[in-house]
Amino acid sequence: MSPLEPGDMLDHYRIEQTVARGGMSVLFKATDLHAGHAVAIKVPHAEMAADPILVERFKREEEIGQTLDHPGVVKTYNSEQRSRLYMVIEWVDGRLLRSILNEERKLPIDRAVRIALAVCEALDSMHKHGVVHRDLKPENIMVGEGDTIKLIDFGIAMKEDARRLTYAGTSPLLGTPDYISPEQVKGQRGDQRSDIYALGAMLYEMLTGEPPFTGPNPLAVMNERLLNDPKPVRKVNSAISPALGEILSRALEREPRHRYQTASEMSWDLEHQELVGVEPEVQRPLLGLKGLPGGRKMLLYLSLALVPLVLFGLMLLLARR
């Protein structure tokens, strides 16, 4: 099928403009001529529409969007008779959190907390429906008036009881290096605690102007996440309270069992910071390896450091098939 351009008709939708082009699809702004309002239309690339597994994932994304009904989550409209494969999504006015951070670098503490609370509320609703986003990042959060938010782009979201889908283009399933949880780096599917980790990483960036881990390339960032704790947030921004620093530490725990188990737990602490117990800020020994003999310690360091490299190699190998 020929690519869509502004002015083209797609069933009863008039394409108004191209909003974004991704590796798997193109997002357009369009007008629903039946309802008379703006919508977003997500159209997969031709090669994606020809792959049965990719089509199934696209349809799963649409189904997930239709199960969610929360003001902080973008709506996906029900399917209807269509001339080709595409998805119709609520049009959301506002600015991406990424655009705000690019412009302001870091946000006032009260605003950062307000946005994080709104994300917690949306996540709590999603997770209660068994949906895990798995790719939370500033690019996937739309901020509207009064710092209301909408979570967008459920391209690699997962229902916790759904079977695993695999296909050649593995890399999009891994999330984004700056926000991906350690368990996802290790190749695990992730669960609601993975979304909480990503929210902690975003809150850290909103408060400090930089993500919790940085490096010269994505592999280095993923290695840092596996091997080290982020720099204590109060050493980066001394205006942050000890309680808020403790909340970030809990959200960014490497081990999921040590993290907040639900978004509502994190939300409660953010709203009641005066009641949060604060642990002394100490830099933990690297993965508790202080007592290991030098040879075994080095071997474990090396094996952990190779995890992202192995994953990256698998991505390249599969992508070339």
Q: What is the pLDDT of residues 194-230, one digit of tens each?
A: 999 999 999 999 999 999 998 888 888 888 888 888 9
Catalytic, out of 135, 153, 195, 269: 135
- The residue from 90, 114, 138 where one domain ends is 90
Instruction: State residue 159's pLDDT score.
Output: 84
- Same domain flag for 149 and 234: yes
Specify the pLDDT at position 277: 86
pLDDT of res. 50: 83
Q: What is the pLDDT of residues 141-175, one digit of tens each?
A: 999 999 999 999 998 898 876 555 444 343 444 56
- Which of 90, 107, 140 is where one domain is finished? 90
CA distances from 146 to 95, 119, 143, 157 (A): 12, 14, 8, 27
Q: What is the pLDDT of residue 102?
A: 97
Number of folded domains in the chain? 2
Do 121 and 270 lie in one domain? The reply is yes
pLDDT at residue 47 is higher than 90: no
Asked whether the whole model's pTM tops 0.95, one would answer no
Please compute, for residue 196, the number of CA atoms within 13 A of its CA located in the half-sphere on the CB side: 26
The verdict on whether 11 is a catalytic residue reads no
Clarify whether residues 74 and 111 are in a common domain.
Answer: no
Whether 32 and 178 share a structural domain: no
For residue 85, give its domain range.
9-90
Which CATH number do you get for residue 212? 1.10.510.10
Residue 4 lies in a domain: no
Q: What is the pLDDT of residues 114-133, one digit of tens each?
A: 999 999 999 999 999 999 99
- Comparing 1-10, 43-52, 77-86, 278-287, which segment has the lowest mean pLDDT? 278-287
252-256: which pairs have CB atoms within 8 A and are 24 or more residues apart? 252/197, 252/200, 252/201, 252/204, 252/212, 253/197, 254/182, 254/225, 254/226, 254/229, 254/287, 255/182, 256/181, 256/183, 256/191, 256/193, 256/194, 256/197
Please spell the DSSP secondary structure of 86-135, one letter per residue: -EEEE---SEEHHHHHHHHSS--HHHHHHHHHHHHHHHHHHHHTTEE---
Q: Is residue 2 part of a domain?
A: no
For residues 154 and 122, membership in a common domain is answered with: yes
The arithmetic mean of pLDDT across residues 40-45, rounded, is 94
> Do 234 and 246 contact (CB within 8 A), yes or no?
no
Please indicate, yes or no, whether residues 299 and 236 belong to a single structural domain of this protein.
yes
Same domain, 155 and 81: no
Q: Does residue 311 lie in a domain region?
A: yes
**Rounded CA gap, 167 and 50, in Å?**
13
